[in-house]
């Protein structure tokens, strides 16, 4: 099965490929498309499904899309759906990951409630009327300073109490087992497997 993923993010593509070894995972560029979608919905589900439908309309082939981010309880769920653009003003360049992390740590200074979670919503569009979605989380605590050199994005500032390490201190295999995206991929892989059986 060939599955297009609505992203140009090499990290996301690698995570999905490693978790779905039997599927030919491709990105929009493989079809000669310079695909971009304005993730302007107010929910992960809205952004994920909208992105998948937009690419499906261009390709007419099965499409997988995700929207993910970090939600911090003490900040009323911010950065949330704005995680990738957090701290950037309209029209200004996006902040680098370390700059966003520093901004978030500064905003949380002195706050006792450090609870946060990564959220990932994945949407699969097989046809205009066959749309599937799953949403998963990875619960953690926001650190006061970064730890670890692995992963990407907010990984260095999210501590996982059950493992005693930040997400950036996990091996890729460990991260795939416990991360929001890893959990969502497992559920989506089961849906894909069932669709292939019923085809």
Q: Which residues are catalytic?
A: 67
Q: 63: which residues sit within 8 A by CB, 6+ positions away? A: 3, 4, 5, 6, 52, 53, 55, 56, 124, 125
CA 6, CA 8: separation in Å to the nearest integer? 7
- Contact (Cβ atoms closer than 8 angstroms) between residue 7 and residue 14: no
End-to-end CA distance of the chain: 11
Q: Is 142 helix (H, G, I), strand (E, B) or coil?
A: strand
Spatial contact of 154 and 83, defined as CB atoms under 8 Å apart: yes
Torsion angle defined by CA atoms of residues 93, 94, 96 and 97, in that order, rounded to the nearest 10 degrees: 180
């Amino acid at each position: 099965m060939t599955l297009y993923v609505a992203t140009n993010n090499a990290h996301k593509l690698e995570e999905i490929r490693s978790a779905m070894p039997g599927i030919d995972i491709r990105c929009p560029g493989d079809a000669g498309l310079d695909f971009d979608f304005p993730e302007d919905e107010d929910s992960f589900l809205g952004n994920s499904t909208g992105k998948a439908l937009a690419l499906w309309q261009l390709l007419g082939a099965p499409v997988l899309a995700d929207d993910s981010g970090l939600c911090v309880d003490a900040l009323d769920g911010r950065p949330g759906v704005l995680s990738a653009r957090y701290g950037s003003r309209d029209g200004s360049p996006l902040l680098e990951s370390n700059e966003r992390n520093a901004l978030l740590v500064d905003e949380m200074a002195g706050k006792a409630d450090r609870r946060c979670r990564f959220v990932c919503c994945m949407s699969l569009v097989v046809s205009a009327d066959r749309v599937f979605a799953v949403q998963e989380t990875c619960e953690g605590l926001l650190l006061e300073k970064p730890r670890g050199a692995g992963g990407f994005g907010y990984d260095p500032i999210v501590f996982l109490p059950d493992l005693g390490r930040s997400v950036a201190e996990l091996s890729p295999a460990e991260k795939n087992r416990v991360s929001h995206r890893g959990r969502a991929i497992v559920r989506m892989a089961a849906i894909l497997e069932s669709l292939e059986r019923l085809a």
